[in-house]
Structure 1
Amino acid sequence: MPDSTVPGDRLREIRLLRGLTQEELAERSGLSLPTVKKIEQGGSARIETYHALARGLRIRTSQLFEPGDQPSRRDHADDDRIDLLPMRQAVAPPLGPGGHLHVETVEIEPDLDQLRATARALDEAYHRDDYVTTSRLLPPLIRSAHTAVAHFDGGPQHVDALRLRSDALQQAGRLLTQIRVYDLAQMALRDAVRDSASAGDVLAEAAAVDLQGWALVREARLDEAEGVALATAEAIEPRLSRASRDELAVWGRLLVRASGAAARNNRPSEAREILQVARAAGSALGQRTGGASYKSGAFNHLSAAYQAIENHMIADRPDRVLGMAERIQAAEASTSNTRHRHLLDVARAHVALRQDGDAEDILDALHEESPDWLRHQQMASEVFADLLRKRKRLTQRQRRLAQFFAAA
């Protein structure tokens, strides 16, 4: 979670400037008095709790973390489950006067076609939620990409090598964000943006920026996430009548990312306005899907609707979440990650409305369908903790889920 000292100090400072007592702030925020007291005394809280406090104070959520943003994360990342030393060595190798120290000099020319095939296989493994395999095989792919970029420097295949390395680094950044290792994710994505820019691949560069925005949101760096996504969306804005599917999709993805950041930052009007533009991208696509070949993920006519549902949950409107969820088919989500994330929002809404059985059904279904994805989702463990808060005795299914989330 965000560093507790800064939000606690800032919360007390802003509350006093507003002339509010702790009791008054708790009432305006829809929180309990002990929660406000705990945070001001240095305790941690969920990002949703900070959002509720910001709403009560009528400020942006990010103002509670100024100065000194810290990663928004659980007590630990998942580097205790996955050996990340090879990934660190590949993504952030030592840099000497002659370049990366781990770049090999090769006698046989690197086979870019074979490296691209490996990259595609790892992309498929990631989408199967096989994070262990992905984390083991990405480092040698990245090292080979470093070697290829150096080997083809100045030659006709240099651009292809840069594109390959950007792809591999985006895969690394995406995985590292998923398992909450944000410092290394940002290093990978920064270099991916540079490689795509050097290769002149505008859409790949924008897709890498979108992944950067995802990591920034998860770090609670909400102003930056919204700003970089909007600036990039403006830079690549296509003419709707002439745009390709991929141009519409990457542009739409950036707008959805910016809307989500604005919603979390207690800027609901801006979030709605941005999302309205994103809907234009979806409308232009019609029933088609675009962006599947880019690491930021596919985008279709429902992508903006899923973000609208998430924004309603952030704003504590669970009734609207369930109302909208009934009108769309989760199976039509552009990616499995989007569908799973949407189902967690629906589960949160059920808990908020005291429909615990429905929420538990969703968690159990996700556990059966995609356990490796679920174990990395902080929201899922928080929803389950809410379900158990008033339980005196657990059912067999609840015990199974409790063991799963305890191990996660």
Structure 2
Amino acid sequence: MQWSDYSTGARIKILRGKEMSQTDLAHRTGLSLPTIRAAEQDRRLSLPTLLKLARALAVDTSVIVGQQAPRRAMGQDDRATLRYISSSVHDTAAGFFPEDSDPVAPGELARAAKRAWALYWAGDYRELGAILGPLMVDASVTAQSLDEEASHAVLGHLSDAYQIAACVANLFGARDLAYSAIGHARNTALAAGDPLRAARVDSARSWVYLRDGRLDRSMEVAEAAANEIEPRYSDQGAERLTVYGNLLNHCAVTAARLEDAVRAGDFLSQLHAVGARLGHERDFHGARFGPHTATTQAVGINVTLGQSGKALTLIESVRPGHLEGLADAARNRYQLDVAMAQADAKLYDKALDTLEGVVRGAPQWARHQALPAVIVQKIGGASTARLRRVSGLIGVPAVAADGFAPATVKTAL
């Protein structure tokens, strides 16, 4: 069923979701409860009511009236977060700040940027959205109050804030915002005179191109940035090696998406070499890399290339302790790759166990990932009851062995 096929009242009810009652929506809009009930029953909807509903539900009016579908898997909190991040990016880049904005201590900005990266990698987008806007404003105002050399460190934090905003937008499917924010991040990193930070931004920029289906451009950006900062063998600087390994990872992933197994294999060899030189997991400017990242990423790359046998062999070599140094998002992504490899090998029960563990353990993160739905479709011949339960968790239709979705499972919008 298409979004436009629903009635306006049904669309309001869907956008409200289970987490918000009609009473809650009435409080948010300032409308009466009978007005909310009438709107959801398609009895009346004036323009002022429509505008108030759109603001409270954090969507455009075009979404409520059915001219435009809501973004995949986004709840009301996600939409509000995205809208706030968007206004923060555009207002800060244009120099529009609240009247009471004052410079803050650079140390406070450093702590805020570190906190923002931690929230991003933990998948806590609601809390992240709340601090990104103030971080952008404070960093921009503070940088303008300093001389050029003193402003470099602060501009670095501003670049990080833009980059994180771009990554969230990319994850949420807001591609225009992702492109805009990553452009601001790169320009600010260059203004800060920090080539490693600019290279880190290019890693994220490559990911935006990848999610937009522009694979050749994704490869071009990541490979050029990697070549620009490639360390000499005698260079053991952890920061450069971390960013370099992160870029090589993007090259390997993109090569796999391009179905170029030879190039992907070459990049994987370099990944493992850089990981070995680092010795353990590192974090620099939000780039995380190390020997265990190299191994877990190799699993996903082999899955993408259709080499499930190699992926399963690698999975056997990964110990629980190897995952402890990874960010939550990286661990979750690895588990999805494990589930996909198990599904490819027709180990359906194991795949369902792995998948259910991820979507129950990290529901906020998982609902913005496409792979769970792909895995569910792949496990079409497994137990219908189990499949229905897991499908319900991720909001996609289960597909039975005959290829048809059970009638009791609702298709996600």
TM-score, length-normalised on structure 1? 0.73
**In the alignment, is the contact (CA less than 8 A) between 2:349 and 2:382 conserved in 1?**
no
Equivalence for 1:110: 104
Equivalence for 1:161: 154
Equivalence for 2:145: 151
Equivalence for 1:36: none
**In the alignment, is the contact (CA less than 8 A) between 1:282 and 1:300 conserved in 2?**
yes
**In the alignment, is the contact (CA less than 8 A) between 1:263 and 1:311 conserved in 2?**
yes
Alignment of 1:7-406 (within 5 A): 76=72, 78=74, 81-83=78-80, 84-93=82-91, 100-104=94-98, 108-152=102-146, 154-286=147-279, 288-290=280-282, 292-296=283-287, 298-329=288-319, 331-333=321-323, 334-387=326-379, 389-390=380-381, 393-395=384-386, 398-406=387-395
Offset at residue 223 of structure 1 (A): 0.7
Offset at residue 330 of structure 1 (A): 5.3
| More divergent stretch after superposition (167-176 vs 333-342) | 333-342
**In the alignment, is the contact (CA less than 8 A) between 2:352 and 2:390 conserved in 1?**
no
Distance 1:165 1:363 in 2: 36
Counterpart of 1:302, as a letter, is: H
**In the alignment, is the contact (CA less than 8 A) between 2:248 and 2:270 conserved in 1?**
yes
Instruction: Tell me: CA distance 1:75–1:118, structure 2 relative to 1, closer, same or farther (3 Å).
Output: closer
Distance 1:107 1:362 in 2: 47
Instruction: Tell me: CA distance 1:349–1:246, structure 2 relative to 1, closer, same or farther (3 Å).
Output: same
CA offset digits 1:12-51 (Å, max 9, x no partner): xxxxxxxxxxxxxxxxxxxxxxxxxxxxxxxxxxxxxxxx
CA offset digits 1:250-306 (Å, max 9, x no partner): 1011011111101101221111122222222112123x222x13213x211133333
Instruction: Tell me: CA distance 1:274–1:194, structure 2 relative to 1, closer, same or farther (3 Å).
Output: same
Q: Among the aligned pairs, what percent are the same residue?
A: 25
Note the residue ranges of structure 1 that are not aligned, 5 or more in a row.
Answer: 1-73
Distance 1:284 1:180 in 2: 35
**In the alignment, is the contact (CA less than 8 A) between 2:243 and 2:284 conserved in 1?**
no
Offset at residue 323 of structure 1 (A): 1.4
Number of residues of Structure 1 aligned to a counterpart in Structure 2: 324
Distance 2:161 2:92 in 1: 18
**In the alignment, is the contact (CA less than 8 A) between 2:103 and 2:141 conserved in 1?**
no
Offset at residue 160 of structure 1 (A): 2.2
Greater relative contact order: 1 or 2 (C-alpha under 8 angstroms, separation 6 or more)? 1
Counterpart of 1:294, as a letter, is: H
Equivalence for 2:58: none
**In the alignment, is the contact (CA less than 8 A) between 2:122 and 2:327 conserved in 1?**
no
**In the alignment, is the contact (CA less than 8 A) between 1:82 and 1:132 conserved in 2?**
no
Offset at residue 79 of structure 1 (A): 7.5
Equivalence for 1:21: none
Offset at residue 383 of structure 1 (A): 0.9
**In the alignment, is the contact (CA less than 8 A) between 1:142 and 1:168 conserved in 2?**
yes
Instruction: Tell me: CA distance 1:156–1:316, structure 2 relative to 1, closer, same or farther (3 Å).
Output: closer
Offset at residue 171 of structure 1 (A): 1.7
Instruction: Tell me: CA distance 1:325–1:108, structure 2 relative to 1, closer, same or farther (3 Å).
Output: closer
Offset at residue 105 of structure 1 (A): 6.2
Offset at residue 392 of structure 1 (A): 7.3
Instruction: Tell me: CA distance 1:160–1:393, structure 2 relative to 1, closer, same or farther (3 Å).
Output: closer
Offset at residue 335 of structure 1 (A): 2.8
Counterpart of 2:349, as a letter, is: G
